[in-house]
Amino acid sequence: MKNFIFTLALLFSAVVVAQENKIEPQYEVLENNVIKATYFHDNGIIAQTGFYLNGKVHGEWKAFNKEGDKIAMGEYQQGEKTGKWLFWCGEELKEVNYLDSRVASVTTWDNANSIVIRD
């Protein structure tokens, strides 16, 4: 019975500690019903920043890894991906062009060789 109570207490304390580390998103109301959103990783580093307009993602959006390095950047129009998006992955940079929220083309840039690879 003591082991059961000890295990239960240990589980409860682990859940409480895990909940304390969660950082709530921040929302800031700007002009013209635009809302700036900032989401965080558990370590406090910004995970994503972007904007909402009328409840839909709209405008520039950026994503970061847990170390704070930018891993993605692009544009939304009324909830749909549009135009050029950039995705950083190790030594590669992928340029993805969207048309009607669908991938129209992908270009891969390799920093190690300074060459362009077309998919």
Question: Could you tell me the residue ranges of all domains in the chain?
Answer: 23-118
Average pLDDT over residues 88-101: 88
Specify the higher pLDDT residue, 48 or 32. Answer: 48
pLDDT for the residue numbered 99: 87
- Interval 23-34 mean pLDDT: 92
- Which run of H or E residues covers position 10? helix 2-20
Report DSSP state, residue 44: S
Q: pLDDT tens across 63-75, in order?
A: 999 999 999 999 9
Give 79 or 17, the one with higher predicted confidence.
79
* Residue that is written with structure tokens 């239960």 in the block: 8
Is-above-0.85 flag for pTM? no
The confidence band for 116, taking pLDDT boundaries of 50, 70 and 90, is low
Percentage of residues of the chain with pLDDT beyond 90: 62
Decide if 74 contacts 83 (C-beta within 8 A).
yes
Over residues 26-50, the mean pLDDT reads 95
pLDDT of residue 91: 83
**Two tokens, residue 115:** 């060459």
Q: Yes or no: is domain 23-118 CATH 2.20.110.10?
A: yes
